[in-house]
Copies of this chain bind each other. A is one copy, B any other.
């Protein structure tokens, strides 16, 4: 007798997106009896939690990225395709990449999120956000060019605008950016300029809620705020940004409206789902939330389509405590791994219990040797928390090979307070323009 199952083509899993969700799903399927195709428009996985260190000149893009092909080259059942998925057809079970269509038996969509300006998309021009390597290099250029322009500016008011940095949003990214800019200004760049004192730079961190770092316990938020103040950051909570235009930020704190003149405004306030969310809603009729995230079933599948899963920042999973899980790397990673298990169990005729997220705690870093750690029962702050932060990140980076370099860089940065990756690069790195006052300064196209 011939075993017909031996001739059945293997189950095809297509994963869209090589962030934490997609990559960990692919890794977990490495030994499974399936064929995996991972599609991403970039050739590398990005360790996004450290992107702010690229934006502030402490690390290079390659330090926090690894080629997807290399990360998956031991998985002989896995193919990496460099390309952008433009459409999904749940009926014929295909995804479109350029002019090609790739068939799937099971689809995992993990395309993540971009920043959101809450309907004020015209603010983006003045207040860039931080999601990609290019974003990070553009923000680095802005920050460093602001100090250069201040050095050349003779008008005191204009100089102050170059030396004013406004960060909108007091979540982890905003806090980490503010702390790192403060350290640049007060330590790294202090000896480098002749006409300006970089330590007089004004760094403003704005948060709409009543405290920064809302995912943390209130006492840790307070510690973080104090530590930021000591670094030279002005923290303003309960503050709404009502307009951003032409280097002017308009704030509302209670009834008081203020205008701040700043040449460097950075956006760390909100996220919205990537366009694939809309595609899924249109093609499957699945519900999405206000941020465009796909509302998923308890097993992370799309309602009515048991073979389509959504994981990571693109998914709204609210079955655990009624609130959507936060948009952080550990959620994406655990979701990706869970879906990989679901697929394998289904092939054996088994059904897994619903997904549950195990929250191992939150970490945030404020400056060179201060962090806060909230593990629920255990709460740390200060130097010890910083050491803890360091070990956790080294541990996770090690998995991405070659990142021993990052450790060396951090140790060096710590002792020297130097930031070696302070290069202003890119095609548009320098556009000299003449201002009416006949001083020369430099504007950047972003």
Contact = CB atoms under 8 A, between A and B. Distances in A.
Interface residues of A, number: 63
A81 interface: yes
A65 B42 CA distance: 26
A434 interface: yes
A376 interface: no
A230 interface: no
A152 B37 CA distance: 13
Given A60-B60, A63-B60, A99-B434, A69 B408 contact: no
Contact of A43 (B416, B420, B422): B422
Contacts of A432: 83-84, 98
Contact of A62 (B60, B134, B148, B429): B60
Interface of A: 41-44, 60-63, 65-67, 69-70, 73-74, 79-84, 97-100, 133-134, 137, 144, 148, 151-152, 189, 191-194, 401-402, 404-405, 408-409, 412, 416, 418, 420-427, 429-430, 432-434, 438-440, 442
A244 to B, nearest CB: 23
Contacts of A60: 60-63, 421
Contact of A423 (B44, B80, B408): B44
A84 B430 contact: yes
A444 to B, nearest CB: 12
Contacts of A69: 189, 192-193
A98 B434 contact: yes
Nearest to A148: B82
Contacts of A67: 192, 422-423
A429 B67 CA distance: 14
Given A70-B192, A434-B99, A442-B82, A401 B418 contact: yes
B84 A425 contact: no
Contacts of A152: 81-83
Contacts of A416: 401-402
A65 B412 CA distance: 16
Nearest to A132: B425
A97 B440 contact: yes
Given A42-B424, A60-B61, 10 more contacts: A62-B422, A62-B423, A65-B423, A79-B194, A82-B430, A82-B442, A84-B430, A133-B425, A405-B412, A408-B408
B61 A423 contact: yes
A433 to B, nearest CB: 8
A193 B137 CA distance: 29
A192 B148 contact: no
A409 B409 CA distance: 11
A61 B54 CA distance: 12
A402 B423 contact: no
A420 B405 contact: yes
B402 A133 contact: no
A421 B64 CA distance: 10
18 contacts: A42-B430, A43-B423, A44-B423, A60-B63, A60-B421, A66-B420, A67-B422, A73-B192, A79-B194, A80-B192, A82-B151, A99-B434, A99-B438, A100-B439, A134-B426, A134-B427, A408-B408, A427-B427
